[in-house]
Every structure is written in structure tokens, then in C-alpha cells.
Structure 1
Amino acid sequence: MKLTHSRAVFLMILVTMMWSIAGVVTRHLESARSFEVTFWRSFFTVVSLLVILPFFQGRAVFSKIRNGGLAFWLSGVCWSMMFTAFMVALTLTTVANVLVTMAVSPFITALLARAFIGHKIPARTWLAIAMAGAGIAWMYGGQMDLSSHIGGTLVALMVPLASASNWTVVQHSRAHGKNVDLVPAVLLGAVISTLATLPLSLPFSATAHDVGLLALLGLVQLAIPCVLSVMCAGVLKAPEVALLALLEVIFGILLAWFGAGEVPGASVLTGGALVIGALVVNELIGWRQRA
């Protein structure tokens, strides 16, 4: 599918809305915990992608996996780290803590993109990152409780590190004109995550209710949006993708608030407004300049 910049922006917003349901859904699990939560979600992601990818790309998708180069394998490893760390972190701390910690991604992404692929980041994007950073810092100070959630915070920090590395790999391969389809890397990441967490999940304790919810996450919260996000990465620059991905923080906290009773503090609402404002200003200025 050929994406314009405007369509890619809209699609990334939709992707963040789909990503954001993970927190509220996991709060309604009955007995599944920790690595078993990750295993079932990754397993159903694999099943979903085995249907989705051949439908859009035909059987050639499997040859692309067999012949994938270094960028493909690096992206797959990054996806697996993101899949695993995110779900484990949600079982160790609050949704707000996980999402706020993940929101450092734009800073890491901008640094890696500048250092490894020489992206010249526009002044407007740096300003937006600074504004978003101020909002995140405000949310961070009001939400983070390191004394009781240090484990979950450290695990959650692995997600933006892997995400920044992943987007940089995607952009680097595009910049060098390599005909590498990194969409199947999402499938590879899900396979690695499934295999890695299986022995840590035994014996299973999930109920049928839990498995149904995790199957929903595997398809709607992970398989579909991750494929779409990789497509968007081919059009948007890495810092833009990272900034738009911050909307997951806002959507996720709101869903956990209304759907699971995890009430955010005033700092979350104030900081979230600043983050959204930074995103809107950045994109509006960008559209005006291109016009």
C-alpha cells in the first residue's frame, strides 16, 4: 500500500489507539501472570500473522524470512524484546508507570537516528521533543514510585531502548536502498518471544477467559498495529514515528482509568495535554511547510 505522509500520520495514530488497549485488558485477567501473559499474547500474534502476512504478500513472505539479512534479524530481535518486556512490565507495575517510562523513546530514537544514519532533525521536531519531554517529566514526577515499582520500571525501560533500535534499523535499510521487507520481522519477533517465554510459563494457569483476552491482544493490539507501524516507518522519519507513538501513553492511561479504575493524578492530565500539544504543533508546522 502506497502511503502519503498525511496518511502515514493518520495510520500511526490509529496504531497507537490499538496498542493502548493492552493495559486495560490485562487488568481483567483472572489468573494468568508474568511470562504466561507474554507467551499467550505472542503465540496468538504468531497465529494471526501467519494468516495476515500471506494474505497481503502471498507465499513469498516465507522466502523473505528465509533470505532475510542482518537488518531483518536485528529488527526481529528488537520486536521480541519489545513484546516480552512490555507485558512483563504491566504485571509488575501500573499502566501509567509502564507507559510513562516508555515515553522516553523519542529522545533515544532521535539520538540513534542522528548518530547512526545521520538524520538532520528539523528545529520544529527538536522543539516538539522538548515540549513532550517537559510533559513526560511532569507526568513522571507525579506518577513514578520507584521505591515500590523499581522492577517494573527497569523492565519497561527495555521497551523504548528496543523500539529506538528497531526504528533506526528500519530507516537505515531504507536509506541504503536495500530491498528488505521488514514487515515479516514482526512475525520473527513474535516467534522468538513465544519460544523464549514458553519454558518460563509452565505450568499454565490461564483460564479460558484469560486465553480469549490474550488472543484478542495478539491480533488487535499487536499483530495488526505492528505491521501497520512498520509500513508507516517507511514514510515517516524515526523521530516523527517516536513522537506519534507517544499518543499510546495518553490513550493507555485513559483506558486504564475508565476501564480498570486506575485513576491518574493531576500530573498525568497536565503532562498529557502538553505531550499532545507538542505532537499537534509539530505535525501542523510540517504540513504547512510541505504545502
Structure 2
Amino acid sequence: MSVSAVPLPPVTGPDPAKSSSEAAIGCLLVAGAAIAWSTGGALTRFLEVSDNWTVVFWRSFFAALFLLCFMLVRDGPRGTLRLFQHMGLAGLGVAICFATASSSFIIALSYTTVANVLLLQAGVPLLAALISWVLFRERVSAATWIAIAVVIAGVAIMVSDSLDGAVSPIGDMLALLIAVSFASATVITRRKAHLRMTPAVFLGVFIAACVASLLAGGFSASARDFGLLFALGAVNLGLGLALFVSGARLIPSALAALISTLEPVLGPVWVWLLHNEVPAPRTIVGGAIILCALLLHLGWEYRRQRQTQPILSS
């Protein structure tokens, strides 16, 4: 059996205990990805490199290096090669989505505010749910729809202090493109759960590095900055992507995108701890709303699965 495939449930019927365990692991992996991604803002504050595309290049380069090493250690050289061979069009689609999202993020910030970008990215769970329902009729529970609405409201409160009316159609369209790309990658990863998408995200960051290499003003950086860029690439981006694509295949697309909204909640916490920058009151209130909504929804999901497990197994 190819190492690029994960055994599907037996045709005789689903194993409720296994499904519940896989869902819990999937939630933890996606939450780990959000934690890794949330460190980006705090780490970037330490950088002295002024050219954004230089930062994108080294960050993407180190992320690609981390992901390649991760696959080589986990699957070996032959197994890694088979992963790329079995990636298919789905893997190529995920790669294009992540390359588009990571590249558009830098460009969007040149036209619009961080607040606008975060607000539009808060719609990722809604977009993922809509795409899954329209294309694949994947059922989304009423509780998930409510949680999505509460999270969007929480993000709106978080960024409300920064919404100063500096709206750029180009910047906001790029921010929307980021959300659509991320939601699409989440849905594809879930629909192709039998495929490992690590080679796809490797290809995505490799494409981003190639694009950034053409636009960067230079590649030089101090030894201190190289250390920070390595952390941004390997931990913040590479590890985050590896955890996300590993977890998103185990849980519904809307839930995976919903859990990933932990990133904007935890981001200000890292800035506070590392830079002593106290979050604004609205940031704290909005973050608390998002965190409560996620915890309540995850608790509801866990209880629902625990209640249905004996019924399904009887």
C-alpha cells in the first residue's frame, strides 16, 4: 500500500469510536496550526529587514525546507517521491490556493489595513461551509452556523478600532481572494482525505518563494534576522501548514476553518507577552467572544459524538 494513502473506514460500516478519536485528533492538529500561525506578528516585529518580499522569500524558503525534511524523515526518500506522484490535481489545487493566499497577503497589506484583511478572513469558515454544501452537499449543523456568525462578530469587534475608512477596492478584493483560497484548500483537503497534502503545501510555499525571489529587492539579512526568518518559515508557516493539512482531512471543512480562527485571537497575546503591547479593550472583548464560541462549539461537538456513539455501535 502506498504511504501516500491513509486507510479508509471498512466498507462494512463506520467505527464510531475511531471516528470520534480521529475527529478529536483533527481538532487538536488544526488548533496547533492556529497556535503556530499566531506567532507570526510577534516574530515579525523583531525583524530589521525592510523589504517585505525579502521576508516572504526567506520565510517561504525555510518553510519549504522544513516541509521537505519533515516528509523525508516521516516517509523516507522513496515514500516522499510517491507522495508527490500521488498528489494529483487535488494536490496541485491545494498548492495553488496556498501560494495565492500567501502571496496575496503581502500585496493586500500594501493597499488596505490589517483590520480589513482580518475581517474578510473571518469569513473563511462561512465560505468553507458554503463551498462544501453547494458542491458536495456536506451537511453543516445549525450550531456550526451559529458559531460561525459569532466568530465573525467577534473579529468585527476586535478590529473595529482600526476601521478608519481607508478602504481600497484592490486591497479588499485581494483580502477576499485570500479567504476564498484558504477556504477552497480546506474543502479540497477534507474531500481528498485519503491523500496526504504535505507535498501540496510544500509546492505552494515553493511557488511563493519563486515569486518573491523575482520581486525582492535583495536577499541579505543579519544573522539575527536569519534566525527569526528561520523561525517564521519553519515554525510559524511550515509547521502550521503541516499540522493544518493533517488535521483538516479528519474533520468537516467548516469546523476546521472555524478552529483556525484561533489565530487572530492568539496573535495579540504573543505581541503582549513578547513586546509588552497591551491589547485594546475591544480586542480583548472580541477575542473573548471568539474563544468562548469555539470552546462551546467544540464542547457541543464532543458531547454530540459521545451521545451518538452508543446508538451507532448498538
Is the TM-score greater than 0.5? yes
The residue matched to 1:131 in structure 2 has which SS? Answer: helix
- Offset at 1:250? 0.6
Indicate conservation of the 8 Å contact 1:128/1:282, yes or no.
Answer: yes
Change (3 A) 1:263 1:84: farther
2:123 match: 104
- Offset at 1:11? 2.5
State how far apart, in whole Å, the 2-side matches of 1:227 and 1:83 are: 15
1:240 match: 255
Indicate conservation of the 8 Å contact 1:82/1:163, yes or no.
Answer: yes
- Offset at 1:136? 2.1
Q: Deviations over 1:55-109 (max 9, x none)?
A: 1122222233144311110001111122223355567777655444422211111
- Offset at 1:243? 0.9
1:18 match: 36
State how far apart, in whole Å, the 1-side matches of 2:50 and 2:81 are: 32
State how far apart, in whole Å, the 2-side matches of 1:232 and 1:173 are: 12
1:235-274 aligned within 5 A: 235-260=250-275, 263-274=278-289
Equivalent in 237, 252, 257 of residue 222 of structure 1:
237
Greater Rg over alpha carbons, structure = 2
2:95 match: 76
1:38 match: 56
Q: Deviations over 1:24-69 (max 9, x none)?
A: 1111111242211111100111111221111112222223314431
Indicate conservation of the 8 Å contact 1:95/1:253, yes or no.
Answer: no
State how far apart, in whole Å, the 2-side matches of 1:154 and 1:27 are: 26
2:152 match: 133
- Code of the residue aligned with 2:208 in structure 1: it is S
Change (3 A) 1:223 1:194: same
**TM-score of the aligned structures, taking structure 1 as reference length:** 0.88
Indicate conservation of the 8 Å contact 2:191/2:249, yes or no.
Answer: no
- Code of the residue aligned with 2:216 in structure 1: it is S
**TM-score of the aligned structures, taking structure 2 as reference length:** 0.82
2:161 match: 142
The residue matched to 2:219 in structure 1 has which SS? Answer: coil
1:53 match: 71
State how far apart, in whole Å, the 2-side matches of 1:258 and 1:94 are: 23
- Offset at 1:142? 2.7
The residue matched to 2:166 in structure 1 has which SS? Answer: helix
- Offset at 1:163? 0.6
State how far apart, in whole Å, the 1-side matches of 2:109 and 2:98 are: 17
State how far apart, in whole Å, the 2-side matches of 1:154 and 1:91 are: 13
1:118 match: 137
State how far apart, in whole Å, the 2-side matches of 1:150 and 1:254 are: 30
What is the number of equivalent residue pairs in this alignment? 287
Change (3 A) 1:163 1:117: same
- Code of the residue aligned with 1:114 in structure 2: it is W
Indicate conservation of the 8 Å contact 2:30/2:248, yes or no.
Answer: no
Indicate conservation of the 8 Å contact 1:96/1:264, yes or no.
Answer: no
Q: CA RMSD, aligned part only?
A: 2.5
Unaligned regions of 5+ residues in structure 1, if any?
none
State how far apart, in whole Å, the 2-side matches of 1:283 and 1:204 are: 43
Matched, 1:159 2:183: no
Matched, 1:288 2:303: yes
Change (3 A) 1:119 1:272: same
Indicate conservation of the 8 Å contact 1:22/1:217, yes or no.
Answer: yes
- Offset at 1:151? 6.7
Q: Relative to structure 2, which stretch is displaced further, 154-163 or 77-86? A: 154-163
Change (3 A) 1:152 1:36: farther
- Code of the residue aligned with 2:87 in structure 1: it is G
Unaligned regions of 5+ residues in structure 2, if any?
1-5, 7-17, 307-314
- Code of the residue aligned with 1:138 in structure 2: it is I
Change (3 A) 1:97 1:250: farther
